[in-house]
Amino acid sequence: MPRPILATIHVDSMKQNLAKAKSLSPGAKAWGVLKANGYGHGLERAMRGFAEADGLALIEVDNAVKLRELGWKKPILLLEGFFSLSDLHTMAGYDIQAAVHCDAQLAWLEQVAPQLGERGIRFDLHLKMNTGMNRLGFKPEAFAAAHARLSAMACVGGITMMTHFANADDIEHPLLPIAEQIRRFELGAAGLPGPRSLSNSAGVLLHHALRNDWIRPGIMLYGGSPGGGGAEQFGLQPTMTLSSEIIGVQEIGAGEAVGYGSRFQAEAPMRIGVVACGYADGYPRVAPLGTPVLVDGVRTRLVGRVSMDMLTVDLTDLPQARIGSKVILWGKGLPIDEVAAAAGTIGYELMCALAPRVPVVED
Ligand SMILES: *Cc1c(COP(=O)(O)O)cnc(C)c1O
């Protein structure tokens, strides 16, 4: 029998979450964001889950090619753009779109523009504006000039104007509220033609009035919350359930400790369940005492340090629990965001960190 740990991907829930994103943004097209192996769900599986998306967006050009080979016919967008001149030839060969966020990318495009233009290649590109995130993009005051450079190239087709929000989940942010990012965007984009793409999940869920021609939801499609509220409150469904089983039980007395470092000490006699799941499966090692875990559908708590292949839970109030009892680490019945919050991180990181050694099935 295989080790009992398992990730179950709920492809139907992926479809429903996408439908939710689209219903919240009437008139806009939707990229399904597939970064990081589809937020840990698998590229091909995410492609099927988001078959109704108008396009798929990711980071790596080789994975973009893979999507084409898997039969994806609609648009594909590289969110960080291209990393070299040679990527442009791959993009041309597979009809892949990209963000353009810096002068170096404009220069690469200019180098190949005459040659590719002559061959009839027309890239649809997404000119990115830095409206305060200060990662990628042209400053508002440099945007029109970058737009003009792109427009002048023979190999450029459509130009979408794009920006990314730093704080869409926190309307009252004291330093950079979303309203300020929108103000800068409008300033930089003033008078320029073409479609616009602004909203990530938080934008879609919390800022319905934003004008988008293309939305870029990621985490919400995977049933996770971008912040600013729980995923359930937004009507999203979990798409990944990480489950395992109890593989050992220890009865311990008052004063005895559990696990590496003997960090947890029992105050009274306890039953401890050992779960086949550890940090080498993607469970966060930093998860502290009290992190919620479901055993036979009942909520209990993590005790002791998470080790590589195992973690330990409190079974004192679960007398029926025994070897083989079903354990849910996150997913259906236990929101991933709750586990993440206990561990001081976000659902995104837990999903993306699902380890390759965990077998994955679909239901
Ligand atoms: C990751 C990413 C998204 C999706 O963000 P979520 O918070 O997961 O919805 C959208 N746009 C860009 C540019 C991204 O990098």
Secondary structure (H, E, C), the chain = CCCCCEEEECHHHHHHHHHHHHHHCCCCEEEEECHHHHHCCCHHHHHHHCCCCCEEEECCHHHHHHHHHCCCCCCEEECCCCCCHHHHHHHHHHCCEEEECCHHHHHHHHHHHHHHHHCCCCEEEEEEECCCCCCCCECHHHHHHHHHHHHCCCCEEEEEEEECCCCCCCCCCCCCCHHHHHHHHHHHHCCCCCCEECCCHHHHHHCCCCCCCEECCCHHHHCCCCCCCCCCCCCCCCCEEEEEEEEEEEEECCCCEECHHHCEECCCCEEEEEECCCHHHCCCCCCCCCCEEEECCEEEEEECCCCCCCEEEECCCCCCCCCCCEEEEEECCECHHHHHHHCCCCHHHHHHCCCCCCCEEEC
Q: What is the rounded average pLDDT for all residues in the chain? A: 97
Are 164 and 73 found together in one domain? yes
**Residue 178 to residue 131: CA distance in whole angstroms:** 10
For residue 309, with 0-12 CB atoms within 10 Å meaning exposed, 13-18 middle and 19 or more buried, which class applies?
middle
Q: Is 101 in the pocket of ligand 1 (CB under 6 A)?
A: no
Q: Specify whether 128 is catalytic.
A: no
Give the pLDDT band (50/70/90) at residue 221.
very high
List residues bridging with 29 in a β-sheet. 214
- Residue at a domain's end among 227, 258, 291: 227
Domain total of the chain: 2
Q: Specify whether 348 is catalytic.
A: no
What confidence tens digit (pLDDT) does each residue in 338-355 have?
A: 999 999 999 999 999 999
Residue 302 covered by a domain: yes
225, 347 contact by CB (below 8 A): yes
Residue nearest to atom 15 of ligand 1 (CA): 79
- Residue at a domain's end among 202, 227, 252: 227
Best CA proximity match to 192, nearest among 156, 159, 214 = 159
What confidence tens digit (pLDDT) does each residue in 32-82 have?
A: 999 999 999 999 999 999 999 999 999 999 999 999 999 999 999 999 999
Are 258 and 320 found together in one domain? yes
Best CA proximity match to 100, nearest among 154, 155, 160 = 160
List residues bridging with 313 in a β-sheet. 273, 302
Are 202 and 272 found together in one domain? no
**Residue 256 to residue 249: CA distance in whole angstroms:** 15
Q: Is 217 in the pocket of ligand 1 (CB under 6 A)?
A: yes
Residue 233 covered by a domain: no
Are 185 and 301 found together in one domain? no
Are 283 and 349 found together in one domain? yes
What confidence tens digit (pLDDT) does each residue in 146-189 have?
A: 999 999 999 999 999 999 999 999 988 999 999 999 999 999 99
What confidence tens digit (pLDDT) does each residue in 292-332 have?
A: 999 999 999 999 999 999 999 999 999 999 999 999 999 99
Residue 4 covered by a domain: no
**Is pLDDT at 110 greater than 90 in this prediction?**
yes
**Is pLDDT at 113 greater than 90 in this prediction?**
yes
Q: What is the CATH number of the domain that holds 341?
A: 2.40.37.10
Cβ neighbours for 180, distance < 8 A, ≥ 6 positions apart: 131, 132
**Residue count (the chain):** 363
Averaged pLDDT, 75-94: 97
- Residue at a domain's end among 227, 256, 284: 227
Residue 150 covered by a domain: yes
Domain that holds residue 54: 11-227
**Residue 59 to residue 293: CA distance in whole angstroms:** 33
Are 277 and 194 found together in one domain? no
Residue 232 covered by a domain: no
Give φ, ψ of 85 to 5 degrees.
-60, -40
Distance (angstroms) between ligand 1 centre and the Cα of 340 equals 19
Distance (angstroms) between ligand 1 centre and the Cα of 203 equals 10
* Per-residue confidence (pLDDT) for residue 64, from 0 to 100: 98
Q: What is the CATH number of the domain that holds 36?
A: 3.20.20.10
Residue 209 sits at the vertex; the CA angle it makes with 207 and 211, to the nearest 5 degrees, is: 105
Report the Cα–Cα distance between both ends of the chain, in Å, rounded: 20
Other beta carbons within 10 angstroms of residue 286's beta carbon come to 12
Distance (angstroms) between ligand 1 centre and the Cα of 22 equals 16
What confidence tens digit (pLDDT) does each residue in 224-235 have?
A: 999 988 999 999
Q: Is 128 in the pocket of ligand 1 (CB under 6 A)?
A: no
Residue 235 covered by a domain: no
Residue 23 covered by a domain: yes
Averaged pLDDT, 264-276: 98
Are 55 and 202 found together in one domain? yes
Q: Is 219 in the pocket of ligand 1 (CB under 6 A)?
A: yes
Best CA proximity match to 347, nearest among 355, 336, 358 = 336
Are 209 and 316 found together in one domain? no
Are 186 and 164 found together in one domain? yes
Binding residues for substrate, by number, are 135, 308
Are 285 and 248 found together in one domain? yes
Are 142 and 41 found together in one domain? yes
Residue 267 covered by a domain: yes
Are 218 and 356 found together in one domain? no
* Per-residue confidence (pLDDT) for residue 354, from 0 to 100: 98
52, 15 contact by CB (below 8 A): yes
* Per-residue confidence (pLDDT) for residue 1, from 0 to 100: 83
Using the structure block, give the residue that is written with the tokens 């000039």: 145
